């Protein structure tokens, strides 16, 4: 009886050792999500000390504005030079030196600020 139990144990041990530790049907795929978008972030202050954070995605032509605890996502408006929301309720325009964010239906400027100019000035000739 002892020999048969020992033989059975040896057979089980040998068959267990032949089994591969890795399952050939399971493949590990490493997917690395890297964004190819050109994204820039900027914070602008106005004359009253209020700050507006602007996140610009130039690849998707989307501007995300964070102002007074609210977030607005605006898309490039092909008919005007600025960005607007889907319902055309808000309008965001920017020039080289100024940024304006306004509510269109009330003709109310929510934010108007100037970008920081370079500290050094070029001497005029």
Report the C-alpha gap between 56 and 38 in whole angstroms.
8
**Amino acid 52: pLDDT:** 92
- CA angle 63-65-69, nearest 5°? 160
Tokens 């607005």: give the residue. Answer: 72
pLDDT in tens, 40-63: 899 988 888 889 999 989 888 889
Stretches where the chain sits below pLDDT 70 are 1-3, 5-10, 12-35, 117-125
pLDDT in tens, 81-91: 788 777 788 88
Q: Residue 125 is encoded by which pair of tokens? A: 């000739």
Closest-CA residue to 75 (of 112, 110, 111, 87): 87
φ, ψ (nearest 5 deg) of residue 36: -95, 5
**Amino acid 105: pLDDT:** 82
pTM: predicted TM-score of the whole model, two decimal places: 0.60
Closest-CA residue to 62 (of 52, 71, 73, 72): 73
């Amino acid at each position: 009886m002892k020999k048969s139990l020992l033989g059975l144990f040896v057979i089980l041990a040998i068959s267990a050792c032949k089994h591969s530790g890795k399952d050939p049907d399971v493949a590990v795929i490493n997917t690395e999500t890297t964004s190819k978008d050109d994204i820039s972030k900027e914070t602008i202050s106005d004359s009253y000390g209020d700050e507006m954070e602007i996140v610009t995605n130039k690849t998707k032509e989307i501007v995300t504005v964070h102002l007074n605890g609210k977030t607005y996502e605006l898309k490039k408006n092909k008919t005007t030079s600025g960005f607007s929301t889907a319902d055309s309720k808000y309008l965001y325009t920017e020039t080289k030196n100024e940024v304006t964010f306004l509510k269109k239906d009330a003709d109310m400027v929510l934010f108007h600020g100037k970008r920081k100019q370079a500290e050094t000035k070029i001497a005029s000739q």
